[in-house]
Amino acid sequence: MHWKRWITALVALPLLILLILKGGATLFTLTIGGAAIIAMWEYYRIVFAGHTPAVPLYSFLWCYAAGAAIVWTLPTHGFKAMVALIIVHFMGVAFFSIYRFSHAQDAPVVALKQVFGILYIPVCLAFLVLLYNAADGIHWVFLLLLVVAAGDTGAFYVGSYLGRHKLAPSVSPKKTIEGAAGGLAANLIACFVYSRLFLPTLSTTGCIVFALGVGIVGQAGDLFESEFKRVAGIKDSGNLLPGHGGFLDRMDALIFAAPIAYLIKEYLLA
């Protein structure tokens, strides 16, 4: 399993670096939008696994279209436009639920899960595009991705070799307190190294705030996604990324970390 993780990372990493450095805002936004749709598909596959009758395709297409529009709209037209899209999406889902209720009384739950999927994935990932478009955005995106990846790797290996005390066994039996601490230590090291090389204006205090803020919510995002898989009785959200599972598995920490990183940069470190 370890070698699959590293092969996938070695293949994807150069493409990701090239995208961030040379892709430009439009291609970066389109890529994040595409990733959001794939992650939404995995999320809906998990949460709607037990619903009978099956949720119709047109209802999902409505959600995917709204998700893509939100990722595109928040960076280009701001928060008011994003809120308007969320409201329009909610109204559409509500109309679909009225029809569904005539033959399936899970209609309100279906509507809630669909709206939550929009808030959970595309809204949070749109902040990654906001970060990219900000001053020194390329370096901030690299910093965020490096801190998240370092925390994930540190938690995995420290937990594997030194983990003794369970962190949240009811949610994720393999995660340990030692692994969580190792992840936070890796967050701090990665943030200090990158910021000293490429973001020298980021103070030591700012570096600590950014690394711990991103690291803590990243671990929370990982555990939060595990709740859905636990309820559904599955190990991975998908199998598109060998050794990593699905897109949602790979992005669960980033989904939580992206808005926090942007808010820390814009409001705490400004």
Per-residue pLDDT reduced to its tens digit, 225-238: 999 999 988 888 87
CA dihedral (228, 127, 41, 66) positive or negative: positive
Tell me the average pLDDT of the chain. Answer: 93
Full residue range of the structural domain in which residue 260 is found:
2-268
pLDDT at residue 9 is higher than 80: no
pLDDT at 263 over 90: yes
- Characterize 73-109 residue by residue with b for buried, 16 or more Cβ atoms within 10 angstroms of its Cβ, and e for exposed: bbbeeeeeebeebbeebbebbeebbeebeeebebbee
The average pLDDT across 5-15 equals 72
Tokens 């980033």 belong to which residue? 254
Q: Where are the beta strands (DSSP E) in the chain?
A: 166-168, 172-176
Q: How confident is the model at residue 239 (pLDDT cuts 50, 70, 90)?
A: low
Q: How far apart are CA 264 and CA 252, in angstroms?
A: 19
> What is the C-alpha separation between 248 and 167, in angstroms, rounded?
21
Residue 10's pLDDT band (cuts 50, 70, 90): confident
Q: pLDDT category, 13, cuts 50, 70, 90?
A: confident
| Nearest Cα residue to 264 out of 151, 158, 127 | 127
Domain count along the chain:
1
